[in-house]
Structure 1
Amino acid sequence: MVTPQRILVVGAGHVGLYTALRLSRKLKAREAEVIVVDPQPHMTYQPFLPEAAAGSIAPRHAVVPLRRELRRCTILAGEVTRVEHERRVATVQPIVGPSREVPYDHIVLVPGSVSRTLPIPGLRENAVGFKTLGEAIYLRNKVLEQLDVAATTTDPATRARALTFVFIGGGYAGIEALAEMEDMARDALRYYPELRADEMHWVLVEATQRILPEVDPDMGAYTVQQLLKRNLDIRLGTRLESCVDGVVRLSDGDSFAADTIVWTAGVKAHPVLERTDLPRDGKGRLTCMATLQVTGPGERTVEGAWSAGDCAAVPDLTKEPGALCGPSAQHAVRQAVRLADNLAAVIRGQAPIPYRHKYAGSVASLGLHKGVAQVYGIKLRGLPAWFMHRSYHVSRIPSWNRRIRVVIDWTLALFLRREVVALGELHSPRQSFTEVTPPVTR
């Protein structure tokens, strides 16, 4: 009797979820066992984080439960802390309890990426990222709470600080987060007669001379023009130098106080890759062949090791030699399909096929009914681009359950006003209880 191959999938993001789902459908139980390890019980569809933060969709509809979607897989709720591929063993730290070693025959190492931060004074203490659902919910509550602070205080300095919102990074994450949150805050002002829209100070800080580098310069320029029409403060060619105690100091010499600072200036490979014996490139990503197999010196394939997505350096065969696939959801989803098919082929003694996909373009939302899109050379702006943005992403999120729920959220938003209530107590739920509970002295 042939022993089933054990496939360990590390990470349940775009690549991990799609790879595990396709493997569980293509391979029979007698051929392989698929194990998925992730500290979160869900996959986060990150393109929907801005809309979840702005209240356009319910936050829980931006995530996909792993145990419901991957019912043919074994789910381990924990974090991989080390990979010893020479031994074919990964060390897993469960949520609670001692760590354990999980042996495998093939490993799909796709932990994704984390925020790429810099040693800027005050950044760690005062800023928040925008890569997780928790960060999106926190930002929503923070912005709405600052409106309450500004509407209540009688101190002009406190009011100005509360109404200043700073976003660092002009890529898709930063632009969409900034535009959606400003749109939400402006909508919420109808309930704050004490505040005026021109009192809010929304600042975008970008180190280069353009935003949205994934699209042509004219589309980036159009986006800047649209944001300027909304009285947003766009600082190109500017760096954040310090934000100690919430005082933002920029490289252009300007400084001001802000209680809301959001860091969206790029990503880097997950640090777990540093604790593996697999080859990496200068940016810490796993070096891969176009077949999505990890490769070592001399282009020699590392047997049984696979990767894709943000944490992998994958050749882009549609461009000049040496070009790599960008860290986008578009590549991640398609690489996951090719990786799963190639892994299944190798298990069955067949040859893998190189991944090849010509980048189709990009879509971005700039708030309700506003957007930009550049797809297959066609450029759209305003309402058509916004509609394309929503149509594309609702078709990409896994499971019909989530697609239907998201569409229902959008449909209800056509008839009902946006929810603009802050639930900041979610971030410290035990505070009120501990305040009324007397301490016990011994």
Structure 2
Amino acid sequence: MAAVKSQPTRIVIVGGGYVGMYTALGLQKKLRSGEASVTVVDPQPHMTYQPFLPEAAAGSIEPRHVVVPLRKVLNRCHVVTGRVTKIEHADKSVTLETADGHVETIEYDVLVNALGSIARTLPIPGLAEQGIGVKTIGEAIYIRNHVLSRLDQAASTRDPELRRRLLSFVVIGGGFAGIETLAELEDMARYALRYYTQLKPEDMNWVLVEATKRVMPEVSEKMGVYTVQQLEKRGMKVFLDTRVKTMENGHVVLDDGTEFDSDTIIWTAGVKANPVLRNTDLPLDERGRVRCTAKLQVEGLAGVWSAGDCSAVPDLSRTEEDPTATCSPSAQHAVRQSKVLVGNIVASLRGKDQKDYFHKYIGSVAGLGLYKGVADVYGIKMKGLLAWLAHRGYHVAKMPTFNRKFRVLMDWLLAFVNGREVVALGQINDPKAEFDRASKS
């Protein structure tokens, strides 16, 4: 009598960001034919390489080249575009809502939680109405068009108060995202002013507000001080150990008494684990992250794995000094964790031993606009052009797929030869406005 062939193991990955895409990519390369099926669920049909969002917002990179289409690269996986609303491990099921509103349930044998993080907001009056984040490609495109359209409006108005408001740009949060966004946008706006004879660089008011006493805690304190000095040399104002009290109607009030009006308020003050995790039966820590072992398994649950910003993974490089230390929410950890995750899932399916995740912090790089940067790698500190080259080299190396690497390199080459693109395409925010106006005339 012929043996009945067992069904492939059903692996479901919730989230198509760093961890989700890299894990699916690794699994489709390592799994044997018929060994397992892989399904990836995410609200977006693409993965966004977030470290390049500031450059996409500033016109150095074409926005489409910052995203990786999931269906194209995960050609051996099943990609579902939908938003996960519930995970019930007791029933081994994931509930999701698709774009057309219908609810679907997917069953699994192995679950990978890669839901990632969202912007961490605070109850500041006006933040919900006035603020915009920098976590999606849509936000990067909007910010680019918005900043350039403020220059257009400022050059056209005769009202000095309105011009000051239009030319005031605020970034709240002094981490990597905030610093790079501020520096890249200011660089773009300064470049664009050559085409606005009515405006001068000193007319612009670029402001960074950071609640702690230093920027970019990932680099040395000396490099953080250098970064602030470089921003201030370019005329930017940096408020450290300062908090925003209110931003209602664009009127920004800081807790040191400073007040001004701004039409552009960008929020980059940290992230928090995806709140969908509260609607699961997975074990969570006090910060809403999934509790994990060093092998990236969810504590106490067989067949459930987790990594990235939404996961409390022990940081074995620091546990001797702090037994409770967990990995920070960074792209560096997410990419490396996904590699260990792939190996451990395959090993688990084949009855082999799994490995602990161990990654010692090697340093950080940050861009401060064209030809400017800071870097602190293996204790070697770099500034200016060399750091800028290290920043670009590191991130293009980490950009997934050769296709996207090549496109980003070509964007940089074209920008070097032809300069930045400094045209606002504000119509994309309301593409039907002109048609509606025509239909009423």
TM over 0.5: yes
Shift of 1:438: 4.0
Q: Which amino acid aligns with 1:192?
A: Y
2:376 matched residue in structure 1: 374
255, 268, 278: which one aligns with 2:282: 278
- Aligned runs of 1:249-268 on 2, under 5 Å? 249-268=253-272
Shift of 1:430: 1.2
Q: Which amino acid aligns with 2:307?
A: A
Does the residue aligned with 1:183 lie in a helix, a strand or coil? Answer: helix
Contact 1:2-1:30 within 8 A present in 2 as well? no
1:342 matched residue in structure 2: 344
What is the distance in 1 between the residues matched to 2:115 and 2:430?
28
Q: Which amino acid aligns with 2:433?
A: Q
Q: Which amino acid aligns with 1:204?
A: L
1:425 matched residue in structure 2: 427
Shift of 1:19: 0.2
1:114 matched residue in structure 2: 118
Matched, 1:136 2:106: no
Percent identical pairs in the alignment equals: 58
Q: Which amino acid aligns with 1:149?
A: Q
TM-score normalised according to structure 2 size: 0.97
Matched, 1:153 2:151: no
TM-score normalised according to structure 1 size: 0.97
151, 168, 181: which one aligns with 2:185: 181
Q: Which amino acid aligns with 1:152?
A: S
Aligned length: 434
Matched, 1:319 2:318: yes
Q: Which amino acid aligns with 1:280?
A: L
Shift of 1:326: 1.1
Matched, 1:11 2:15: yes
- Aligned runs of 1:60-75 on 2, under 5 Å? 60-75=64-79
Matched, 1:435 2:437: yes
Does the residue aligned with 1:212 lie in a helix, a strand or coil? Answer: coil
198, 209, 217: which one aligns with 2:202: 198
Shift of 1:411: 1.0
1:89 matched residue in structure 2: 93
What is the distance in 1 between the residues matched to 2:63 and 2:305?
32
Matched, 1:38 2:42: yes
Does the residue aligned with 1:34 lie in a helix, a strand or coil? Answer: strand
Q: Which amino acid aligns with 2:313?
A: V
Shift of 1:379: 0.6
What is the distance in 2 between the residues matched to 1:61 and 1:325?
29
**More displaced stretch, 349-358 vs 165-174:** 349-358
Query: How well do the aligned residues superpose, as a CA RMSD in angstroms?
Result: 0.9
Contact 1:165-1:258 within 8 A present in 2 as well? yes
What is the distance in 1 between the residues matched to 2:329 and 2:374?
19
What is the distance in 2 between the residues matched to 1:259 and 1:438?
30
What is the distance in 1 between the residues matched to 2:216 and 2:182?
13
Does the residue aligned with 2:366 lie in a helix, a strand or coil? Answer: strand
234, 240, 243: which one aligns with 1:236: 240
What is the distance in 1 between the residues matched to 2:383 and 2:44?
36
Q: Which amino acid aligns with 2:430?
A: S
Shift of 1:97: 4.2
Q: Which amino acid aligns with 2:324?
A: G
Q: Which amino acid aligns with 1:302?
A: L
What is the distance in 2 between the residues matched to 1:412 and 1:436?
37
Shift of 1:435: 2.0
Does the residue aligned with 2:269 lie in a helix, a strand or coil? Answer: coil
What is the distance in 2 between the residues matched to 1:433 and 1:249?
39
Does the residue aligned with 2:327 lie in a helix, a strand or coil? Answer: coil
What is the distance in 2 between the residues matched to 1:95 and 1:370?
42
Does the residue aligned with 1:131 lie in a helix, a strand or coil? Answer: coil
Shift of 1:437: 2.0
What is the distance in 2 between the residues matched to 1:25 and 1:2?
21
1:23 matched residue in structure 2: 27
2:366 matched residue in structure 1: 364
1:76 matched residue in structure 2: 80
Does the residue aligned with 2:68 lie in a helix, a strand or coil? Answer: strand
1:233-260 C-alpha deviation (Å, 9 max, x unpaired): 0000110110111100111111110000
